[in-house]
Amino acid sequence: MKTKPAGPPVWKSSVSIKLLALMLLFALIITSILVIRCFSGEESRFSDEVAGQIAREMTENRIVLSAKNCRRTVADFTDPIILTHGKDSRLIVHTAHLSETICLASEGLGGWAWTSAYQDIVFEGDAQYTVDLSRLSEEDFVLNNELKTLTVRIPYAVLSPIHIPADQIKFHDVVKGWAAPKDIKLTAEENAQLTMQVNEKMKAKLIDENLIAVANENAKTVVADLLSATVQSIDPEFTVVVVQ
């Protein structure tokens, strides 16, 4: 009786099948990871490209909130302006330097030159014109969304008290005749009257030169420059127009 050669043991076949299955599963996992990474990388690059394109379009077309997506209201500007500049009650818009010479005379007997004394006093002072921005209210602002302008009505310039520093008063030497009895000396009352006289003469010069008109024109420029910084920080497309 012939016998067949024995085949491989059953337990060895089972181990081989399990090993093959494990290798296939491992290969499947590796393949899945690579596919997911590849897809994620492409998606990331796509997102970056889209974000870059949007940023370029916003820069090129200057898409700002006010210009493209909504209309400004006057309150957008008035509240920050009044908050920032509403305390400027004496905004200097023009300064004029003035000089006035007064001749003091102390006449002696008969009014003759040889019995009299004379002295020139030069007064140097500054006249400042100011605008009171603390008086601004919402009624002083007009907004035009089509022209992109904010019109502001400001008060007229006013003249502040003329300032004459003590060190800007120059006393020239006294000129007197040989028979003049004494130097020129002023009482406190005479000094006060002299100061009032100088102030009146300086104010007359300001009126003659029509410096109030110059001050009002300067006020428009000064205030426009001042408010433009605030307005354009809110919306760079708007400009400021100042009227009185």
Q: Where are the domains of the chain?
A: 9-61, 71-243
Enter the tokens of residue 240: 């400021």
Give the number of other Cβ atoms within 10 Å of residue 239's Cβ.
14
pLDDT band per the 50, 70, 90 thresholds, residue 184: confident
C-alpha angle 56-62-66 in degrees, rounded to nearest 5: 135
pTM of the model: 0.64
pLDDT band per the 50, 70, 90 thresholds, residue 21: low
> How far is it, in rounded angstroms, from Cα 72 to Cα 231?
12
pLDDT of residue 114: 72
